[in-house]
Structure 1
């Protein structure tokens, strides 16, 4: 076998690159899942940087977003800066007094404006059996230390684009001096204008040409023209309409992003041979790798840890992970002396379609109507009453009065669906923002591998104008979609449209159902999605048949593909989740995953679960009065989770036991958050605060 020295010396004269590759030396090679070229940029940390897009900490906190010189033709750098601004602020509360700049933020522990110089490498990749491009990115800060090499994964939260985790796992990793590897997980802001054929390149700029783009619907020109003639000015979106159920591959996307990270690091730090090849120097065995991120990104990292059969991942630290645990009825969940929950581990589509159907009525239940912050701001109570009436007329809620019907809708969500009461104060805001509705549409399409032309439940995506009628998205809005959209309409001007609404296709939020002739948030369409999720017509109770049954079966198969196994292979792992999470209910995500993991790994488990009181899913809402008073930033505890896993891996410090963390709300938005509000995760919690698995039950203290 030729040595490196021989390859280097001989290569200069006679030895070919191919011959050296065959020498058995570990040469660095671009992974074969990378498609096309790798785009690389260097940021000096003064005029532009990795973390803040050149805005600095104060720019990210500013209420004035960065503008484009030409709103119709933004440059790639302008799009990147605005994407970082919007994605950071979508997940982190930057309002003064909420912890930004003191407990978290680019400047905390970093000084100045917190700008971080370094390299950024961007590419498309694919997974086996799919030709849909997935975006992957590696950021290497100048502070990266080869002697203390580390990588942090940052798959995007929600369905966001490649910068979707910049303010969460990205910030922590970059400030730690780690390389951060990102992926959009096959979701992202890939939008396809079916009228004009415009789609986004990897850098967010638009093109109508036949060239690599983030996503185009699988329609030839004639099929696209026919669709546009019937349903003009519609959009297709990557997560919903790529026909590949991207969530089934989220774990693989994360593992491949790590492999690409090692490639980039070895191109930078690998040993020179003199023949254009680098010998691998940065390897899993000498690099600390933490799989991380929040929400969907957290779920993707958990799935990656389960699939990791190559020893790429050393530990896991995630916040509010979107995990759909395999259903295991051999254990139950109980909080305090409350009811025993046996029907846990419902799928995301199950509980989300339930929220989409019932929450609009529950919003005006006497128990929460006036107490839920911003309820009347985000919701039209006349439409809420119409929803209650429509549900009652269909026999789905009971009660003689609107109050009775609304209370019954709330009861159904709590008692029958297993939603925590703590979500009730936040759920109205989420409903008003169409969170459950948008998730239901996107995931039903994705799980069923539906195309845009399938028009699942007669819902499409388009801009809407006066009265909710479909209109064209403005050129300026479309030009900014890469930077402004979260990947799940309604977002950035693209809305959910109920094509079967009474009168004409109408924005779902103000549409009238044919069965009721009332503005009831397109309840007929939402009931269709709910029926597909459960396999039965929820109004008649009759099993679905024909095409609906076929689609429901496809959706069920898609859900089966994304179920988590609970086997973390002994990796040190921390989950932090807010008890008041109103998007990913804890009785169907973190709590049952903890139980499943105990079942699967038993005494070999290294998973710790910290349930944070007075915390929820979207910290950005804490910047509003009424919410700031009641809630603390879960983001702070996510960073603690990363610190704890780092200390465990790097310094052999034991992970604290699973526990409930009893935080203290600040009581008023004018009172700045302090350490007194942020009860730390305890290394030795009281017995009454410990979360345990015993007697076939996950036991959660009140």
Structure 2
């Protein structure tokens, strides 16, 4: 058990050689990667607070807070709406779904769950890039330096600083820990190429040359030329920073921890007469848990892999976006199902496949009328047009729509190892353009492409009801910091297919030139697929010229983000929903667990809990048809944090890897109860254990 105690003697003793290498000298100095001023705010926990921005538990469950001036919101208003939107984007707040009983600001805290404390925001400099990373530290008033703890909360998806406020943020703040956040180089940073407006650290807009979250790397003449040909476009930080930020996610998390220690020692260090501050809080006397969900979870996993200084004590993540390195021969098998050897595909690989085939697969008889909200999000005419175009290109077979859609579903389930449990969720995600947005954003990021490159003739802009490009409204742009998730389509900014038949058009409404079909801009999506494969997705021919160079750049970018599987023996828990239709389990959590077993062997302290009837976006559980079938993975994420905390502070053993068999509610009218949420078992039945045997990860049905 780590000794958590404060004192100058203990602090000095903690200055080990590895701590020195990490920059932990005896005196507190601002890390060299911090750029510019640190923004510090104090919240009283009555009128405003760290967790809910003064809204409280009931306010987070109510209507969105409004701006006094929609065109010029104040920083505090932007922060409040950002916290509101980021919380609700990941947590189901609909009555009956567990909010207020199993999770939520007030659970375990009482009242409205407001948390008083201090918040510090800053930019971090990234070597070799002009685009900064944002970082934030929240220190609740309940923080006790004698039992110091810290939780990392890198943003999920491509969200901004507050992207993990309702997940790792809530758990850490309630625990009395400092919470360190980072947008990990993605974030909501937007650049209006027409007006040159970009977001400051606080989310307000400026067209002046001052520190901003992101501006495209274009000279004034180049920007003018671009605007003349492609007016009213926007650039986004994740897609267009030319930095491949994912390659540095782990380092950004480690730097956020270093910044966290700087803030804590400014607050609680020993001030000497010469004006210097002697550090009293170190990695050796502060418990640090790397955490978060989705991309944020993947970033914390990568941080643990890179942590040769011992900054991190344990890891607890949910549905992490990890791309395990390919190489060691192992397989995956669920029950008596097929042996899966084609695992560990990259995010771009399976996302481009979903972007191409899922629209057609949505019309397969096996899921057409069973998938919740399928007809709402996916008009049958669009699916039929996609199937028709795919058939004409020889990418699906069959004479009828049913045959073609069934073949598209087969390709996803068999060729791409998408588990059948994910089939019912995938149509909703396709209708929301999740895979399409990921495919466009990550293709650009991995290629280190700029907005001017317009990879596969795709750009970003607001569009009108007919799908034509239009200037973004002042109110929509002013709210982007608070409303955007960082990956268009989001907050009024859409994917635009510049090569669409007729004119540049919202991708979802685009007519492909090769088919003259309104097939969701399939030509553009096939172009992205070709870049991901390194060959023409239709003919199989080798790419040439600029396309070949782009494909090689993308392949290099993907190589840079592969995870090693070496967690350095840190106690670690993954929780993942079997029905995850955004980050398919056969390419993320499952192969990572197997890779870790090969890499670390008996030294591994990783445990994997696969939750039945759970998926990637709990917020969807508030809808009829989804609430009936699915349960909040969020609940199990908090259990994962509790288990790692108990392991680190009380030496409690982590339960063995297992399948957790939950019980669906059956109806949205039936409130969630403890009977639905089967706990992770300290001693699971043999039939529920997940094991790695003979180089095969074996998962019970």
TM class, shorter-chain normalised?
over 0.9
The answer on 1:27 being equivalent to 2:24 is no
SS at match of 1:587: coil
Aligned pairs (5 A) from 1:479-558:
479-558=478-557
Asked whether the 8 Å contact 1:319–1:575 carries over to 2, the reply is yes
Q: CA deviation at 1:25?
A: 7.3
Aligned pairs (5 A) from 1:151-170:
151-170=150-169
SS at match of 2:423: helix
What is the CA deviation profile of residues 113-156 of structure 1, one whole-angstrom value per residue up to 9, with x for unaligned ones?
00000000000002333231000000000000111100000000
Instruction: Give the Cα–Cα distance (whole angstroms) in 2 for the partners of residues 306 and 59 of structure 1.
Output: 39
Structure 1 residue runs of 5 or longer lacking an equivalent are: 6-23
Instruction: Give the Cα–Cα distance (whole angstroms) in 1 for the partners of residues 128 and 265 of structure 2.
Output: 28
Instruction: Give the Cα–Cα distance (whole angstroms) in 2 for the partners of residues 127 and 341 of structure 1.
Output: 39
Aligned pairs (5 A) from 1:639-658:
639-658=638-657
Counterpart residue number, 1:9: none
What is the CA deviation profile of residues 570-618 of structure 1, one whole-angstrom value per residue up to 9, with x for unaligned ones?
0000000000000000000000000000000000000000000000000
What is the CA deviation profile of residues 476-529 of structure 1, one whole-angstrom value per residue up to 9, with x for unaligned ones?
000000000000000000000000000000000010000010100000000000
Counterpart residue number, 1:577: 576
Instruction: Give the Cα–Cα distance (whole angstroms) in 2 for the partners of residues 510 and 277 of structure 1.
Output: 61
* Larger mean Cα displacement after TM superposition, 372-381 or 270-279: 270-279
Counterpart residue number, 1:629: 628
Q: CA deviation at 1:543?
A: 1.4
What is the CA deviation profile of residues 1-52 of structure 1, one whole-angstrom value per residue up to 9, with x for unaligned ones?
xxx99xxxxxxxxxxxxxxxxxx97110000000001010000000000000
Instruction: Give the Cα–Cα distance (whole angstroms) in 1 for the partners of residues 625 and 494 of structure 2.
Output: 28
RMSD: 1.0
Counterpart residue number, 1:78: 77
SS at match of 2:235: strand
Q: CA deviation at 1:467?
A: 1.1
Q: CA deviation at 1:329?
A: 4.4
Counterpart residue number, 1:354: 353
Counterpart residue number, 1:14: none
Counterpart residue number, 2:41: 41
What is the CA deviation profile of residues 180-212 of structure 1, one whole-angstrom value per residue up to 9, with x for unaligned ones?
000000000000000000000000000000000
Instruction: Give the Cα–Cα distance (whole angstroms) in 2 for the partners of residues 616 and 315 of structure 1.
Output: 24
TM-score (norm 2): 0.96
SS at match of 1:31: coil
Asked whether the 8 Å contact 1:329–1:342 carries over to 2, the reply is no
Counterpart residue number, 1:380: 379
How many residues in Structure 1 have an aligned counterpart in Structure 2?
680
Instruction: Give the Cα–Cα distance (whole angstroms) in 2 for the partners of residues 283 and 129 of structure 1.
Output: 29
Instruction: Give the Cα–Cα distance (whole angstroms) in 2 for the partners of residues 159 and 275 of structure 1.
Output: 43
Counterpart residue number, 2:221: 222
Q: 1:407 to 1:329 in 2, by over 3 A?
A: farther
Asked whether the 8 Å contact 2:91–2:634 carries over to 1, the reply is yes
Counterpart residue number, 1:60: 60
Instruction: Give the Cα–Cα distance (whole angstroms) in 2 for the partners of residues 72 and 277 of structure 1.
Output: 44
Q: CA deviation at 1:328?
A: 2.9
Q: CA deviation at 1:381?
A: 1.0
Structure 2 residue runs of 5 or longer lacking an equivalent are: 1-7, 10-23
SS at match of 2:586: helix
TM-score (norm 1): 0.96
Counterpart residue number, 2:472: 473
Aligned pairs (5 A) from 1:3-22:
none
Q: CA deviation at 1:373?
A: 0.4
* Larger mean Cα displacement after TM superposition, 129-138 or 504-513: 129-138
Instruction: Give the Cα–Cα distance (whole angstroms) in 2 for the partners of residues 468 and 587 of structure 1.
Output: 36
The answer on 1:458 being equivalent to 2:457 is yes
Asked whether the 8 Å contact 2:184–2:245 carries over to 1, the reply is yes
* Larger mean Cα displacement after TM superposition, 364-373 or 269-278: 269-278
4+ runs deviating over 3 angstroms = none
